[in-house]
């Protein structure tokens, strides 16, 4: 059983959700059929009582609405940046660590919708910015969208380990970001800068001259290090990246690390850092295959110790998933 569990929707306008109707609420023991109260991570309101007051049914679900694409620009041949005009309420809701939305070309059926992380949410003009990497049928189709787009949200579970990030004040955060995963990391940097933190960002240049988010991180006042992180011939961390990490650890007292890359990269980075300092806390970009975003379809589930996690809305400690005991492959 995971030692840390939370539901990102608990206590919000979307709680209780459909999982309460089916006896699978992540937090409330009574809505899971127990006869006693043993809720996890109290959020200031009783989910069971909210369910009772709502006539013993779940609250409203998120639905698609049409918004205007203010700007659509190809950053590279496989990366598209969208600026989308939303309303003030949604812009505020998406101005949060881990926020994401489902996007869909208005001309396509609903099963073409795909989850996309929020890179920026501008509260002055109520515009959000997302970056889409063209890798498959859904994203190719999204790239064909014109001046209108269908959007469903807000969702907030795009980053795991949020409890460690949100509690960091007047400290130093190290972000290691690769590819399009730099987009959700930018929102983390923005929020933690407001809490007096120094942000060190290692950006993997990959097969390009620089990461698309470099200017935005620089504008926030982050310290940027361009580096190639992974040796693909044996899928391990490159020596130059390991050397940079060692130098940074001598200079800064990191308490929290954000890994923004693939799950394989999370595993490489977390295990490398943990062997030198097992007091480090980790946050990771959520790479779960999110299809419904409501914990219903099961496509995003991760398994540990024979227990399943609904990663689209359930928070866990990334160290419990990615840190491997010595000898375990």
Q: What is the pLDDT of residue 285?
A: 98
Q: What is the pLDDT of residue 329?
A: 46
* Contact in structure between 322 and 305 (CB atoms under 8 Å): no
Q: How far is CA 128 from CA 93, 164, 301, in A?
A: 11, 25, 28
Torsions phi, psi of 19, nearest 5? -65, -25
Q: Which residues contact residue 38 at a Cβ distance below 8 angstroms, ignoring those fewer than 6 apart? A: 29
Calpha distance 141→137 (Å, rounded): 6
Q: Is the pLDDT of residue 327 over 70?
A: no
Element (H, E) at 142: helix 137-143
What's the angle, vertex CA 139, arms to CA 232 and CA 190, rounded to 5? 75
Torsions phi, psi of 10, nearest 5? -60, 130
Q: DSSP state, 318? A: H
Q: Report pLDDT digits (tens) over 16-73.
A: 999 999 999 999 999 999 988 887 777 788 999 999 999 999 998 999 999 999 999 9
Element (H, E) at 151: strand 148-155
Q: Report pLDDT digits (tens) over 9-29.
A: 999 999 999 999 999 999 999
Percent of the chain at pLDDT > 90 equals 85
Task: State the average pLDDT over residues 269-297.
Answer: 95
Q: Average per-residue pLDDT in the chain?
A: 93
CATH number attached to the domain at 64-155: 2.40.30.10
Q: What is the pLDDT of residue 43?
A: 75
CATH number attached to the domain at 159-322: 3.40.50.80
3-state secondary structure 169-219: CCCEEEEEEEHHHHHHHHHHHHHHHCCCCEEEEEEECCCCCCCCCHHHHHH
- What does the domain layout of the chain look like in residue ranges? 6-54, 64-155, 159-322
Element (H, E) at 101: strand 100-104
Calpha distance 156→117 (Å, rounded): 9
Q: Is the pLDDT of residue 326 over 90?
A: no
Region of 325 (left: φ > 0; alpha: ψ -120 to 50; beta: rest) is beta
Beta pairing partners, 247: none
Q: Which residues contact residue 329 at a Cβ distance below 8 angstroms, ignoring those fewer than 6 apart? A: none
Region of 11 (left: φ > 0; alpha: ψ -120 to 50; beta: rest) is left
Cβ-based neighbour number of residue 159 at 10 Å: 26
């Amino acid at each position: 059983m995971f030692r840390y569990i939370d539901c990102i929707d608990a206590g919000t306008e979307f709680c209780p959700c459909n999982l309460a109707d089916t006896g699978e609420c992540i937090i409330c023991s009574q809505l899971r059929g127990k006869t006693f109260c043993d809720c996890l991570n109290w959020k200031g309101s009783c989910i069971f009582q909210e369910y009772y007051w709502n006539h013993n049914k779940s609250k409203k679900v998120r639905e698609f609405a049409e918004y205007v694409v203010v700007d659509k620009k190809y950053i590279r041949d496989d990366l598209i940046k969208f600026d989308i005009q939303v309303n003030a309420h949604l812009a505020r809701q998406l101005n949060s660590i881990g926020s994401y939305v489902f996007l869909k070309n208005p001309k396509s059926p609903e099963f073409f919708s795909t989850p996309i992380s929020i890179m920026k949410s501008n509260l002055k003009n109520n515009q959000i910015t997302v970056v889409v990497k063209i890798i498959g049928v859904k994203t190719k189709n999204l790239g064909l969208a014109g001046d209108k787009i269908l959007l469903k949200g807000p969702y907030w579970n795009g980053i795991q380990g949020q409890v460690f990030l949100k509690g960091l004040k007047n400290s130093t955060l190290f972000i290691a970001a690769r590819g399009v995963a730099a987009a959700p990391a930018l929102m983390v940097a923005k929020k933690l800068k407001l809490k007096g933190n120094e942000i060190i960002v290692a950006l993997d240049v990959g097969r390009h001259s620089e990461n698309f988010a470099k200017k935005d991180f620089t504008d926030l006042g982050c310290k940027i290090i361009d580096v190639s992180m992974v040796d693909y011939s044996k899928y391990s961390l490159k020596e130059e990246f390991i050397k940079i990490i060692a130098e940074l650890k001598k200079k800064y007292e990191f308490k929290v690390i954000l890994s923004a890359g693939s799950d394989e990269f999370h595993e490489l980075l977390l295990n490398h850092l943990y062997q030198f300092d097992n007091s480090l806390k980790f946050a990771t970009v959520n790479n779960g295959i999110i299809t419904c975003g409501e914990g219903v379809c099961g496509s995003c589930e991760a398994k540990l110790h024979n227990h399943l996690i609904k990663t689209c809305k359930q928070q866990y400690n990334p160290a419990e998933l990615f840190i491997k005991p010595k000898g375990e492959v």
